[in-house]
Structure 1
């Protein structure tokens, strides 16, 4: 019979070594593909800023940020997450754009260790039936975005819609949520066509949408796919006639790449705009000084906010034990340049106000990054799915 013998001196040495190891935070996102502009290294910089603003250490241990490119592949994202949690001592996995990757990593975290802080992915399924105590969705979800933009556009622009939809989890979730709120506002969806992620040629999809005669042609995708589809829609002069263009999600960097001439008038919902408050402007200036002179997207500042809140909660808990930390995250309000008095719900959603934004006309813009105007501030309590309608098991009982 084998007998395990532990030397007290060695055990104490191992424990001391563990306590001296850095606290590692891992930013897992797209650093080379269609979402690199809206997340990518900008999210890494934002995480580093959060660590620096916190003081650089937690519970006597240095905090370091590591990063990896999941290449928009769920198997690669899950493999990186397993290595980080099993071998590399990563305590929190952050950002995780691409909803398919997010859902794959969600299962890894559930069955292993650590905490997941989602800034970049939007699929509302994350906070539904698959939810667990260690996953948080920070900036928005498809339900809230669809409710805000779908309702406003249907009421003010047109009643019939045609969707050009990305064929992955975000596209499916956003299309389903948009359809619900379009119908509730008195509109209807007359057709849908799906495209793969990172599509170069949208001509066949746009021709179908054009022939549908729908009032609104909506591109339900993100990142470079949004820019390419809207630019090619301009080539087909879709918005110059009776049809209007809409998009489910347009980030600041997308609007800059698209240009105000083509993008003007687009209405979108988002969790943040850099010029919405003095605090947001101050953060944007600091971020721009660190990252290529660029103003942050909502994902960038959402990453900053999520990391800041995690560090504050761990300090308040006095431990890195994930149950203690996540309990504190739900107890403490969220206050930072991104959000004031945010609330972390049982299902992991961080509830905060959303903004209904419109891309400015060229004549309205005062500079390179002066791209949106705020049409409306939507209280978080009315934007997000009511808690009593959640399918997350954490909300029951």
Structure 2
């Protein structure tokens, strides 16, 4: 981090200047204290987020530019936990190309594209990372992709869903682990139509992710004979959803479709149940996350949704071991976000070791069509990066939220596992027209 870099610089004093050396030592000790205090404070919030393994001159560097504060802090921290576990496993298996790997972490914040871009440039230009990871926020992921493409750095997006990342704005160097919004829409729409009805009202976050998820659901719903009876765009960080809920109620839909995420999802669903809307309408949506369900009271854990990965998968090889490793590390079960961070970090190692190189073009070529090993994919049908689009094609988990399951943190009942290739559409439909460097 910045303080660490300053501390390193402070130790580079001239040996023939004793007075300067004493002064520099004092400054360095003060800086060391700052680093230790900062690290201690961060440990209270999330398991070892900024603790980096001992630096080696030839270490391979992975830079994570993701939210650790704001609306998406919880999901960002869980992606970080997945990255850390993958890093430990990669180093235990000999690192990348026989070199140790370290993780450098920057807080992008939850919604400031300028900050995310600044941190991406810092990681690439000053810290000289070999790989860039991020972002949870789709708009920030798109902005970061412009930087990584300009600099020619392999970039893996763990959790920014808007279609354009691997669609109309695709780049040869940018790969994505989470689903596209159209994949989620295609996976969940049949269950929503069947279980709830055809008249939908949307409550949508006003940025790239929300726009494309609503568009995808409208498209899938219309194809199944459904209609939109209304919609509202809500600012990121909204705390009072009452005006939107009153409008939704007046439209008399079959389904109120919640597309908000993070703290916004918690606030919206909690208030909807407080207003008694769950007694009159089906409250549901596209993407749902364990982080949000954990933050809700039991009576608000309702509705039909799609999960991108779920921890309770009896009989699927390696899942139990992954769950145990994360619980040992964090004290809680992994979420889909934990899995996304884990897969993203392993993708860096698979790319480099597959290409036998750290040259970005060679690594990107090695990932074309690559199938993840079972111990990384952690799902029934595996997962692969679709060539020509750089989009991971995994399973999707459709089902309904539940107040209590087989364990206190079993808050989602999977009723159908949808094959990613069935939800993804064709490469041509994605809109990606990828160009490669000469």
Q: Does residue 350 in structure 1 map to residue 406 in structure 2? A: no
Match of 1:166 among 188, 205, 208: 205
* Runs of at least 5 residues in structure 1 that lack an aligned partner in the other structure: 1-18
Q: Does residue 58 in structure 1 map to residue 96 in structure 2? A: yes
Q: Does residue 262 in structure 1 map to residue 304 in structure 2? A: no
Match of 2:312?
Answer: 275
Compute the displacement of 1:357 (Å): 2.3
Superposition pairs for residues 55-204 of structure 1, below 5 Å? 55=91, 57-71=95-109, 72-204=111-243
SS of residue in 2 equivalent to 1:90:
coil
Mapped partners of 1:382, 1:174: distance in 2: 17
Match of 2:64 among 19, 27, 39: 27
Match of 2:333?
Answer: 295
Residue by residue over 1:365-396, the C-alpha shift from the partner in whole angstroms, topping out at 9 and shown as x without a partner, is 23221111111111111111211323111299
Mapped partners of 1:34, 1:164: distance in 2: 17
TM-score (norm 1): 0.90
SS of residue in 1 equivalent to 2:75:
coil
> Would the alpha carbon gap of residues 223 and 309 (structure 1) be closer, same or farther in structure 2, given more than 3 Å must change?
same
Mapped partners of 2:283, 2:418: distance in 1: 23
Residue by residue over 1:258-296, the C-alpha shift from the partner in whole angstroms, topping out at 9 and shown as x without a partner, is 1332213x11112210011352232112112111x1211
> Would the alpha carbon gap of residues 93 and 25 (structure 1) be closer, same or farther in structure 2, given more than 3 Å must change?
same
Q: Is the 8 A contact 2:87 2:345 kept in 1?
A: yes
> Would the alpha carbon gap of residues 103 and 166 (structure 1) be closer, same or farther in structure 2, given more than 3 Å must change?
same
Q: Is the 8 A contact 1:260 1:371 kept in 2?
A: no
Q: Is the 8 A contact 1:353 1:383 kept in 2?
A: no
Match of 1:12?
Answer: none
Compute the displacement of 1:154 (Å): 1.6
Q: Does residue 370 in structure 1 map to residue 405 in structure 2? A: no
Q: Does residue 313 in structure 1 map to residue 351 in structure 2? A: yes
Q: Is the 8 A contact 1:220 1:248 kept in 2?
A: yes
Compute the displacement of 1:337 (Å): 4.8
Q: Does residue 338 in structure 1 map to residue 378 in structure 2? A: yes
Mapped partners of 1:294, 1:228: distance in 2: 23
SS of residue in 1 equivalent to 2:64:
strand
> Would the alpha carbon gap of residues 95 and 288 (structure 1) be closer, same or farther in structure 2, given more than 3 Å must change?
farther
Residue by residue over 1:43-85, the C-alpha shift from the partner in whole angstroms, topping out at 9 and shown as x without a partner, is 2221121122122522242210111111121111111111111
Q: Does residue 39 in structure 1 map to residue 76 in structure 2? A: yes
SS of residue in 1 equivalent to 2:367:
helix
Compute the displacement of 1:195 (Å): 0.9
Residue by residue over 1:126-146, the C-alpha shift from the partner in whole angstroms, topping out at 9 and shown as x without a partner, is 111211111111121101101
Tell me the matched-pair count: 372
Q: Is the 8 A contact 2:273 2:299 kept in 1?
A: no
Match of 1:238?
Answer: 277
